[in-house]
A and B are shown apart, each in its own frame.
Chain A
Amino acid sequence: MRLLLVVLLAVSGQAVAQGDARKWLDDMSGALQSLDYDGTFVYLHDGKLEAMRIIHRMDKGGQRERLVSLTGSAREVLRDDKMVTCIMPDNKSVMVGQSRPPQPFPVVPRDLDSVSPHYLLEDVGDDRMAGYAARVIAITPRDSFRYGYRFWIARDTRMLLKSDLTDVDGKPIEQMMFTRLSIGDDIPADDLQPSLTGDGYTWHSQVNVRRKPSHPEGKPAWQAGKLPAGFSMTHFQHKRMRDASSDAQHMVFSDGLATVSAYVENVDSVQEPLVGLSSMGAMNAFGVLRDGFQVTVVGEVPPATVEMIATSLNPAGDNE
């Protein structure tokens, strides 16, 4: 009886600790969306160190954000609650996508039981970062199909100060850290204006067109035969990709924390087919050509995860 009590207390203690960690993550997500801030940070990925500036303002019109590279080819992303505009001088193109309005749902699901088999949430303790008192929250994956995270969160404002994205062994894959951050100061409207006009660039729009689903009941015509433990499909839509003539079936898979997108599109609408693995920091993509379709799976998950999903996606009838 005493042993049972000890075990129960230990389990409930761990649940409380995970709940505290979740609260810090929710607060951080809220701060990133609701605070006015202007900061410079460094970003380490793939052995390269970049410097960037982010300017974010929240007002009656909603969120506005400008992210600009201070090194390299001066790429720039402008974002509000409706649109995302990516200006890319390196390939002289501008891509306009949709923003989904900020969601009220928490960063980590309320039902911790659903993520606990796959991640451990921990409140690691206090530290200092970029001159601010910070709390360190760690999310550790329990297998190699997902990444881990470590966040340094300002104790007073709950603003993100530094983040590490790690593999299952805790080895950093991507890191970002503010070297200068001002919070709460007035953000001049000019600072949220792009420095490039995009004149002479090729513009691509992903703004969705309403189109009848090609499959009865709006279900995807393709399905994954194999998914890593904990992942399930959470969303499906037809999605415009580059222009009005390119349409993809877009399936979103999630394990409660990590998100993976799968796109199936006619190979004729793809300029350069993507086959095999490709990476952008911790973002991995895996492409497969199957039955005249380009299957592309992307997500902030390890290569094995995107490969498993991409290679198991088949027309729905083939899996039944």
Chain B
Amino acid sequence: MATISRPVPGTLVRPRRSAGLWADAWSRLRKNRLALFGLVLVSLLLFTGIFGPLLAPWPYQAQDLKAVAAAGGGPLPPGSPNHILGTDQLGRDLFSRLLDGARISVSVAFVVQLVILTLGVPIGALAGWFGGRVDNLLMRFTDIIYAFPDLLFIILLSVAFRDTAFGQAIDGLLMVFVAIGITSWVTVARLVRGQMLALKETEFVEAARAIGVKDRRIVTRHLLPNGMGPIIVAITLGIPGAILAEATLAYIGIGVQPPRASWGSLIAEGQKWIRSEPHLVTFPAIAIALALIGFTFLGDGLRDALDPKLKGKQ
């Protein structure tokens, strides 16, 4: 095949690496103050989740009984010497316990999203790509899971498996994480399916088929990268739900076992003292609220950054 033309003479194009869509999205995200605030909160949470116990002045289960006795029994108030946020009635340092709780919230965020990714993305992708009977089967299954009342299902799952070999093999806390994941992959599966359905009709996918690109490569190279934006957003916005679900379960006593504490169980323990020592409830509640706000702002910002056309819409 002969070349027609030489490179157009006189053009001033220099080879340059241009901003891809991800770089573009980052530059938009950087301009969004709320999203940046969310990013800071999320980074802070991740940092404390990973390094928290190293920073903590006390081990989470250590009891400073002397200080409690010196104060005449009962929880120490915030600002006490050695206990910046005070202690509970057993003399355990609240700040250290909060830092340890962050670790639980971070792991719930990760484990749940991992379950969602490994279940939701493939199931949605298969249903959307193949369509027809496969789609019908997978989506009816998804509907059944979706129809279950989440919290009840999680409670049943964790209670039912607690005494079985499976439940013993894994930690009770992990059981709760998996249960939360199992009830929450459906949203992502539906989203991925919708993305696939929309994208497989596009002309660039048709062009890939006309070229002879194999199905698997079309899915991994064209469909998933293009559908990634909304999936990332859905996952980011799904994390607060998972954190809240874990906190709710801990509050009613499922999941984390004493002496360990998650933010939810700290609130549950602290409510006995809510009149005299409200800080035992307030600080864990603030921690939960900051985590939720962080992920929500970041998710909203990501949505606007990844798809500027959607801005302002829900």
Partners in one complex: no
